Structure 1
Amino acid sequence: MKLDELSTITGATIRQIRFLISEGFVPSPEGGRTYATYGDAHVEAIRRFQRLKGLGFPNAAIRLLLDAREGVPVPVMDGLTLVIAPDLIGREANMEEIITRTEARLREAFTGNAPKARKRAAG
């Protein structure tokens, strides 16, 4: 897709997209400047940036979060922090499935009712 299509899909202005590319938040386009084309990776990178910006993170903090190898820490409450892989932020994923699986794993962790196969693997 061309730059104007990317702008329409993401809701970011062409100027914002160029800024995000120059700052390394979004990968460079394929084909060089004259024949530049953009794909799903560019859409995901812009959405990830927009999501983090919408959560109130300044650009410097977003850079640190995206550079984090272990993931993005999200404090849930005192003593509980959820760590999310940076590439999942902004991606169009099945959020209901992720929430359901996360809830089930948290219940297991707090109640000690992990399935037997998991208990054996850990033990």
Structure 2
Amino acid sequence: MKLDQLATITDATVRQIRFLIAEGFVPSPDGGRTYASYDDKHVRAIRRFQRLKALGFPNAAIRILLDAREGVPIPVVEGVTLIVASELIGCDLDVGPIVERAGARLREALGKVRPKATKKRGAG
């Protein structure tokens, strides 16, 4: 796709996209300057940046998070922080199954410890 199509799909301006490419937040286009072509990797990179900005991260922090490859910390409540792989940010996943699994793991980790039931020996 061409730059103007990428701008439409991502709801970003051409100027913003050029800035993101120049700053290394988005990969350079395929095909060089004259025949520049963009694809899903560019869409994902722009959406990832937009999502991190919406979460309140400044550009410098976004650069560190993306370079570190350790994941993006997202506070949930005091004492609980999700760590999300940076490549998943803004990729429009179905979060339903993830939420279910995360909820189960949290219940497992934070729930009461219940003693195991012991079998009574019958009189024989």
TM-score w.r.t. the length of structure 1 is 0.85
Number of the residue aligned with 2:47 = 47
| In structure 2, C-alpha distance between the alignment counterparts of 1:51 and 1:28, rounded to whole Å | 20
Stretches of 4+ aligned residues off by more than 6 angstroms = none
Three-state SS of the structure 2 residue aligned to 1:74 is strand
Q: Give, in angstroms, the shift of residue 90 of structure 1.
A: 0.6
Number of the residue aligned with 1:99 = 99
RMSD between aligned residues: 1.5
Instruction: State the structure with more CA Rg.
Output: 2
Bigger helix fraction: 1
| In structure 1, C-alpha distance between the alignment counterparts of 2:38 and 2:22, rounded to whole Å | 15
Three-state SS of the structure 2 residue aligned to 1:99 is helix
Number of the residue aligned with 2:4 = 4
Q: Give, in angstroms, the shift of residue 64 of structure 1.
A: 1.1
TM-score w.r.t. the length of structure 2 is 0.84
Q: Are the counterparts in 2 of residues 68 and 86 from structure 1 also a CA contact under 8 Å?
A: no
Residue correspondences, number: 113
Three-state SS of the structure 2 residue aligned to 1:93 is coil
Three-state SS of the structure 2 residue aligned to 1:26 is coil
